[in-house]
Structure 1
Amino acid sequence: MSNHTVVYLSEQVVVLCSCALSFLGSTLIIATYILWSDLRTTPRRLLVYLSVADWLSAVSYAYGAWSAFRADSPECVAQGAVSTFSNTSSFFWTVAIAVYLYVFIVRCSQRAADSLVLPFHLVSWGVPLAITVAAVCLNKIGYNASEVSVGWCWIRIQAPDRVLWMLLTGKIWEFLAYVTLPVLYVLIKRHIHVAHAALSEYRPILASRPASHPFSSMADVKLTLIPIIFIALRMWSTVRFVLLLAGSPLRQHPVLVTLHGIGNTSQGAANCIMFVLFTRPIRARLCAAFCCCCPCGQEEAAARQPDGAPRRPAAGRDASTQPEEDR
């Protein structure tokens, strides 16, 4: 087995651009939450915690891709530790948001959903931190030869038990997320569709209400895209991991390496697109803030009451879609 995957300059540039977009996207999600107090719902707060993890991932991956480490060093270990912690935490927070929405929407219990926030913190920060500290103390994090990375450091490729630690520091949680996210979001979508169908039997006029359709359809689109985008971004690192286990030289193919680099570093940008740019009230506020003369600023006025307060849901609107719209 070759012990080094060449990372070309073009691959470094692509990964650095992806990191920059995720950095900006995560920063924008955090900034909108801080700036506008009426957007501080629990689902969006969970999204902010996810964005903090993605922000750290973007910074650490960018440093690793820029440095393109060639051997073990204190900087390599530090970068690998930060990226291991933040990347694993991102998996946990992504699943935590899905669990919260499932309990809130399907189980119809906001109190039960809100009570999960503290356990989410303990698990999503605590477990990755414990795993990372153990890996560093046991000298498992270091030069990876880009065999399952793109310039950055992760589990030392020469460690005899490297497969076990690759699973513990990321892959096992990645595999679990592949299964958990689609199941939870399918159950949420099914519940929403059943609820809409039941309401339409008694209030068929709802089907023609222009105010409810855009919100429910956008929520439906997001519920579909979340697991699809997550799997589409993360699958390339999984493919390279499997090829490494099989000893296949295809893991070093430049196209696969580039896709891996983009996928691992694009989560923050993808979340920003879905939950900021594709969320009309936030998009309108950003448009008004950055370009006062922008025509889309009219959306902000339409989204508010005459007194300037945020518009409340229409009386006939299904409350089960509210958390997703707030996000």
Structure 2
Amino acid sequence: MALLGNQTVIHLSEQTIVLFSCALSFLGSTLIILTYIIFKDLRTTPRKLLVYLSVSDWLSAVSYAFGVWRVFHTDSLDCVVQGAISTFANTSSFFWTVAIAVYLYVFIVRSSQRVADSLVLPFHFISWGVPLSITVAALSLSKIGYDASEVSVGWCWVKIRAPDRVLWMLLTGKIWEFLAYLTLPVLYILIKRHIHIAHTALSEYRPILSNRPQSHSFFSMADMKLTLIPIIFIVLRIWSTVRFILLLTDSPARLNPVLVTLHGIGNTSQGTANCIMFVFFTQPIRTRLCKVFCCCCKCGAEAQHSQDDRHRLPPGQEPSTQREEDSTSRVLTDK
């Protein structure tokens, strides 16, 4: 990417990579939401919080994809709308990421599910309400618009010509990002430390507990993996922070193509990372998805096989044996 006057030019390769990242994040967030809706027995509160985070990531992926596809050059109406949606969704994603870490800390370290569940309603007020208030304020004061991709990759954010642009960049995202960098590692370390101590204390009883069903454990493996969300968050978001700091120092390094590409991938990949970790790498959900997929493939194969059998029969003859087998198969399936 090169700076041309007051206009930032984005190369086609950067645009293509970031659009592909947006598409993967869109699909990943959608799959997380669908698995929560379909598999009712896996609806834990932490996974519900993950769904709320996925809604924010879904909105971010859609709005970022539109911005990268358009590559705005003026403060047009669609630029402002896209900037407002991405600002709200991105900030909301920060809050929900911290909310999940707080929930896990209270649930695991403080050993209080009742208190942890009571935090869900305040999480909604904070994680949706604060980003919405900030976005409405920025829109009312005409702070959202064309940013010359100084701290973005084609999409709109805070107007680059606004005299107080740094203040609004902080309010509409960066200050919450910095706070998340400080808060998440502390909570994550405390959670992992508590888990390590608990496992050590129970080590002498493992021969006794080895015959107990795994489902009776204090927390499931799926919930344990939610502790990895802060790490995913930091790894993906750090590139955006680096470019923001380079902007403050007026360093041309912020236009480095590799850094810009990493920024675009990082800001649009949280839905993908969460899907890989909490869908494909989570045994109960992966097993159910495999069953659904295999069932669809089996039904398709049986239908094709039945159709081939009918073609081989003489005209007017009914495949009675095949009908009996199909009936038996349906009864066994229903049971």
* Partner in structure 1 of residue 45 of structure 2: 42
- Per the alignment, do residues 40 and 207 of structure 1 end up closer, same or farther by CA in structure 2, a change over 3 Å counting? closer
* Partner in structure 1 of residue 185 of structure 2: 182
Residues 189, 220 of structure 1: 8 Å contact kept: no
Residues 222, 278 of structure 2: 8 Å contact kept: no
| 2-structure distance, mates of 1:283, 1:277 | 5
* Partner in structure 2 of residue 318 of structure 1: none
Q: Which amino acid aligns with 1:146?
A: S
SS in 1 for 2:95: helix
Say yes or no: does 1:72 pair with 2:75: yes
Q: Which amino acid aligns with 2:15?
A: Q
Deviation (angstroms), 1:228: 2.4
Deviation (angstroms), 1:211: 6.9
SS in 2 for 1:5: strand
Q: More deviation in 147-156 or 284-293? A: 284-293
* Partner in structure 2 of residue 237 of structure 1: 240
Residues 104, 227 of structure 2: 8 Å contact kept: no
- Per the alignment, do residues 270 and 210 of structure 1 end up closer, same or farther by CA in structure 2, a change over 3 Å counting? farther
Deviation (angstroms), 1:78: 0.1
Q: Which amino acid aligns with 2:280?
A: L
Say yes or no: does 1:132 pair with 2:135: yes
Q: Which amino acid aligns with 2:78?
A: E
* Partner in structure 2 of residue 161 of structure 1: 164
Consecutive aligned runs of 4 or more in structure 1 exceeding 3 Å deviation: 1-4, 206-213, 215-225
SS in 2 for 1:173: helix
For normalisation by structure 2, the TM-score amounts to 0.83
- Structure 1: 5+ residue runs without aligned partners? 295-307, 309-327
1:75-119 per-residue CA deviation (whole Å, 9 max, x = no partner) reads 000000000000000000011001001000101101100000000
* Partner in structure 2 of residue 111 of structure 1: 114
SS in 2 for 1:66: helix
- Compute the RMSD of aligned alpha carbons: 2.4
Q: Which amino acid aligns with 2:17?
A: V
Residues 147, 158 of structure 2: 8 Å contact kept: yes
Say yes or no: does 1:141 pair with 2:149: no
Deviation (angstroms), 1:225: 3.6
Deviation (angstroms), 1:293: 8.8
Among 202, 205, 209, the alignment partner of 2:207 is 205
State the percentage of identical aligned residues: 76
1:114-135 per-residue CA deviation (whole Å, 9 max, x = no partner) reads 0000000000000000000000
1:40-61 per-residue CA deviation (whole Å, 9 max, x = no partner) reads 1111111111000000000000
Q: Which amino acid aligns with 1:86?
A: A
For normalisation by structure 1, the TM-score amounts to 0.84
| 2-structure distance, mates of 1:63, 1:204 | 53
- Whichever of the two has the greater Rg, that structure is 2
- Per the alignment, do residues 41 and 222 of structure 1 end up closer, same or farther by CA in structure 2, a change over 3 Å counting? closer
Residues 29, 276 of structure 1: 8 Å contact kept: yes
Deviation (angstroms), 1:271: 0.6
* Partner in structure 2 of residue 228 of structure 1: 231
